[in-house]
Structure 1
Amino acid sequence: MAATGEEAAAMDSICKAPAPPTDLKLTAEPEHRRDEATNDATEDPKAKRPSNNNDGGVETAEEATEPAEPDINELCRDMFDKMSVFLQGELTATCEDYKLLENMNKLTSLKYMEMKDISINISRNLQDLNQKYASLQPYLDQINQIEEQVTALEQAAYKLDTYSKKLEAKFKKLEKR
């Protein structure tokens, strides 16, 4: 997407930033000599450097040059390469997260399938138990009836026992008289 309007103007102003001075004079030269030196330096890139002779007691130093500004295209390319690596890493991490979620979903699905199978087996076993209980129900009813009859017979036996004890007591009483 191309920049338009204010964005383009801002980008142009960045690209056309003034270059830093390339030669620094560390001497105490008079103004006219400085102007001559800068004119010479601007006219001929391989201008003569001031010599270190003792003419007039003026000391001169060699000029200091700053490294050339790197090409803006190279910097942009480097920035885009680094952004590409960063975005690739972010996308890889996101992709790995999705793969992890997919694996977790698969495992959860398998666990639910196992639980479904277990519940189906439990349901079948419960139905079998209910059928067996239904088939045993008449026998259980008979057992309950027998138990009730035994209880009634036991009560009758207790009554008979108490009655026989009373009779025995009366018989002994009659014998003693």
Structure 2
Amino acid sequence: MAATGEKAADMDSISRVVMAHPTALNLTGTTVPHGESLEDAVEPLAPALKKPSTNSDGGVETAEEAVEPAEPDINELCTDMFDKMAIFLQGELTATCEDYRLLENMNKLTSLKYMEMKDISINISRNLQDLNNKYASLQPYLDQINQIEEQVSSLEQAAYKLDAYSKKLEAKFKKLEKR
């Protein structure tokens, strides 16, 4: 049973949307040559896609497929989209390149800082070695000072003992003198 009235109009609008869409199926098996728009390719096929409107059913209407050409500015929109996408990708690549340049500069500066730190540590190591050598040359004198200190301390102890002994003797002498 064929569609009439409002349903036929709905079917016509659906078929128009399908054919107007740039990704619509190509039912004839032909391809769109490069550089030619879908609109140019569909125009010669329009008569082949329409159903004949013969009224053999006796008073029943048949629907015809309507073919609308693609929007006239679709090429301009595609070109604009590709231009903007190219600008976007160029910006992304430029930003990435700038990030890598910044990272490279940071690595160079870090390398220089580490070289400076290496030089400083070499100087500190050299100075520490010199100090160790000087300490080693002074060690015999330091040992003599330690020995003298021990002897002085033992002499001090002997002096305290002598003082204590002399006090005891003095105390005994006073005792004996009092008697």
What TM-score do the two structures reach when normalised by structure 1? 0.61
CA distance in 1, matches of 2:141, 2:116: 38
**What is residue 38 of structure 2 aligned with on the other side?**
15
CA distance in 1, matches of 2:169, 2:73: 134
Q: CA deviation at 1:175?
A: 1.5
CA deviation digits over 1:69-109, x for unaligned, max 9?
33444333322211111110010010011011111111111
CA deviation digits over 1:36-88, x for unaligned, max 9?
xxxxxxxxxxxxxxxxxxxxxxxxxxxxxxxx933444333322211111110
**What is residue 113 of structure 2 aligned with on the other side?**
111
**What is residue 159 of structure 2 aligned with on the other side?**
157
CA distance in 2, matches of 1:71, 1:139: 101
Of stretches 119-128 and 76-85 in structure 1, the one that deviates more from structure 2 is 76-85
CA distance in 1, matches of 2:106, 2:25: 52
CA distance in 1, matches of 2:176, 2:120: 79
**What is residue 170 of structure 2 aligned with on the other side?**
168
**What is residue 131 of structure 1 aligned with on the other side?**
133
One-letter code aligned to 1:82: K
**What is residue 96 of structure 2 aligned with on the other side?**
94
Tell me the matched-pair count. Answer: 121
**What is residue 77 of structure 1 aligned with on the other side?**
79
CA distance in 1, matches of 2:136, 2:159: 35
One-letter code aligned to 1:104: M
CA deviation digits over 1:134-175, x for unaligned, max 9?
011011101100000001000100111011111111211222
CA distance in 2, matches of 1:70, 1:120: 76
CA distance in 1, matches of 2:130, 2:24: 82
In structure 2, list runs of 5 or more residues that go unmatched. Answer: 1-21, 27-36, 44-69
Q: CA deviation at 1:11?
A: 6.9
One-letter code aligned to 1:105: N
